[in-house]
Amino acid sequence: MRFANLARGAFGIVLLLIGLILAGGGIWLATLGGSLYYLVVGVLILVSGAYFLLARVQGFYLYAGAFLLTIFWSFWEAGLDAWALTPRLTGPLILMLCALLLLPTLRVERAALLRNLGLAIVGVFTAATVAAAALSGGSVPQPMPQLAALPYDNPVNIGRGGDWTAYGGGPSAQRYSDTNQITPANVGTLKRAWIFNTGDIPDKYGAELTPLKIGDRVFGCTPMNKLFALDAATGRQLWLHDPKVPKQWVPYTAACRGVAYYTVPGAAPGSACAARIIAGTLDMRLIAVDAKTGKSCADFGTGGEADLRVGLGQKESADATPKPLIPGTAAITSPPVIVQGVVVTGHQVLDGQRRWAASGVIRGYDAVTGKLRFAWDMNRPDLTGEPKAGDYYSFGTPNSWTAAAGDEALGLVYVPMGNSAGDYYSSLRGAEEKKHSSALVALDVQTGRPRWTFQTVHNDVWDYDLSSQPSLVDFPTPAGRVPALILPTKQGDIYVLDRATGRPLRAVDERRVPGGGAEPGQRSPTQPFSTYHTLRTANLTEKDMWGLSPIDQMLCRIQFRRARYEGPYTPPQLGRSNIQWPGYNGGSDWGSVAIDPRRGVIIANYNLTSNSNHLVDRATADKQGLFPVGDPRAAHSASGAEGNGAMAGTPYGIEVNAGWQMPTGVLCTKPPYGGIRAIDLATGKTLWDRPLGTARRNGPFGIPSYLPFEIGTPNNGGSVVTASGLIFVAAATDDLIRAIDLRTGQTVWSDVLPGGGQATPMIYEQGGKEYLLIMAGGHHFMKTPASDALVAYALP
């Protein structure tokens, strides 16, 4: 009995502490206009704890009342959303069970009756919660479009012979394979066929590779740009080319998303570099190697490479003397696109460092000689070649870090642009920067001049750069099929554009958005919204706040009420946090979408995470250690960490809480945090929608929960769809590669990868056998395990 009394006393103290926190936080939340629940329940639990210490039965009555109030409030506020109910009810339920167990230690007659009443309450609650879990989930699958004969693309653009000839699968970048050996009926028997270990796991790892397959070879690159060729049937290494990239050139992430393949017209088959692999490097080189041997192409540039550091530099202010490029502030992480014999490449510029950072110039090089064919510097349109010695391309202009797409017949390259350096401050941008930032720019591949520009954000201060590769389709209109492209965005909007003119083929609305913020005169009163389709969900409310328990959910509510949030495009504001929904990780990110051109279906995996941004003045930024890379004070700078930025050369710095995380690592908004959706290409209507990613690798403080429940996790990487009606996708933080039935949206097979699957898989055929290939390199930003394994699967 002594132990029971000690337990009762300890329980009373726990209730007192919880009651104090909830009541105190509840007062704060109430003064901000938030829910009164936490104040009321906090007082009840506080008094309940006092009575438990006194061994009075009133303590049980009061806690039972608080628990009943919690149940009614939770279902009133969250409905049957099981994940929304979890933090509201799990902790209170555990305390209710403890109260029941301690009931005999209280001074009360008929304790058994009260205990049975409490158990009945718990039973009803449990049944209701199970019902909520059963009823909540993705949308009901709708009838799928019937199989047709390539209605949404020219057959020449569909991958043939089981090859994967470009980063996006083929010229159309649809991430579609016309193979059909692996089907929904037999995919359950899929087994690992081979594994290739690259031997390359840098500190800031994040391979993100989608290899190519041409003929009997697989071509790829490691995070540090070592190029390789493998036997497509066995995974045996045929050659390795190491360009020896210095580690100091690694930007935020060491990534190599892919390479490009080019056959020299008229070259004798089998001659040196008749077929070549062309790739960019982290240290800003464009290299070409023989696809047969891996040796440098002597006819390309100087010794097989072109130096892209020429003309790039930075300066600390508008009037300062320019300095050579600082290693790690610019890098090529995406494969180039080759159109009409011109290799077109952009590069990333490290976010948030300085306003007068390296230029985002887009350049085109001859695929045979490596000579510069054009440069597009939006602020200096007459500078179409290399600057003279001591001169530089325009500083801080929008860059293109992701994969572009091209149309060989039209001679156009479609370049997804980011925003200007000093991402969250716009007063120093020129007119051309404001015109072309966060826009898709169609460049004439022979001249480098823009033919058209379609902007997705006006004067972007949300880091909503275009990160998804556009996909080419033939789109149905009343006037017939139009050569078009599908453009996904981080905001979740998906646009359909005439790829010859940039004209939207589905209406784009200019809607009023919040104004004001730190630069009220800079904000556009409207922003574009797609009427075709959006991955974005309804605006956030206080009810959407989440956490492990009612306490951290309350703290997230307080943060939400204190921050500025008025819907999409709420601008940054000095001295006050602003909530950005979706955050800079999407919507759709660099994985883009997959398109089945036979059935006319878009497959889009997406993120539903937010950011909490806090703009600070220069003195505060310095005090918090927000110094740009290259600054002597930046040895331990927080700048560049998950979006934090010094933004040197502007009046402000920025603190970005990516995902809006609590100190526990749990996000402040409710799940799902990621999903996958099937969309009718012709109409833009959702066919089915479901969460993507289980909770098996997620948990507080980074501790895996190993729970198999489909919570919907953040994801990076795309999907691939096959002619047999299968979708293959990894991307989520659960380290699984899965096959999804295109018609139903149901997972029909999965396997645990050696590391995180933050890459887009690809499909190919070799020797009459179909293979699934995925780079399981993991990703430091996504906090998934590192690996160097390239994993191939096939039927037994």
Active-site positions read 463
How would you class 316 by CB atoms within 10 Å of its CB: exposed for 0-12, middle for 13-18, buried for 19 or more?
A: middle
One-letter amino acid of 212: L
Segment 289-294 long-range contacts (CB within 8 Å, at least 24 positions apart) = 289/227, 289/241, 291/214, 291/217, 291/219, 291/229, 291/261, 293/239, 294/227, 294/228, 294/229, 294/238, 294/239, 294/240, 294/241
127's enclosing H/E stretch is: helix 111-135
Angle among Cα 770, 588, 652 to the nearest 5 degrees reads 140
Under 8 Å CB-to-CB from 541, ≥6 apart: which residues? none
Tokens of 544: 């959407």
Cα dihedral: 485, 488, 489, 492 (round 10) = 140
As a whole number of angstroms, the distance between CA 675 and CA 581 comes to 15
One-letter amino acid of 415: V
Tokens of 161: 């012979």
Residues 346, 308 contacting (CB under 8 angstroms)? no
Where would I find the H helices in 191-273? none
How many other C-beta atoms can be found within 10 angstroms of the C-beta atom of residue 464? Answer: 27
Q: What three-state secondary structure class fits 773?
A: strand
As a whole number of angstroms, the distance between CA 713 and CA 224 comes to 28
Residues 471, 157 contacting (CB under 8 angstroms)? no
Find where tokens 């790739």 sit.
279
Find where tokens 């009394």 sit.
5
Angle, in degrees to the nearest 10, between helices 37-53 and 2-31 = 160
Find where tokens 């591949």 sit.
445
Tokens of 441: 């720019």
Tokens of 28: 């704060």
One-letter amino acid of 681: L
**What secondary structure letter does DSSP report for 669?**
B
Q: Can you say whether residue 339 is alpha, beta or left, with left for phi > 0 and alpha for psi between -120 and 50 degrees? A: beta
Q: Which neighbouring-strand residues pair with 481?
A: 476
As a whole number of angstroms, the distance between CA 36 and CA 40 comes to 6
CA 11 vs CA 23, 48, 160, 230: distances in Å: 18, 10, 68, 63
Under 8 Å CB-to-CB from 41, ≥6 apart: which residues? 22, 26, 66, 69, 70, 550
Under 8 Å CB-to-CB from 327, ≥6 apart: which residues? 246, 248, 249, 283
Rg (CA), the chain: 28
Phi, psi of 552, rounded to the nearest 5 degrees: -75, -25
Nearest Cα to 696, choosing from 615, 756, 608, 623? 756
Tokens of 780: 């430091």
Q: What three-state secondary structure class fits 98?
A: helix
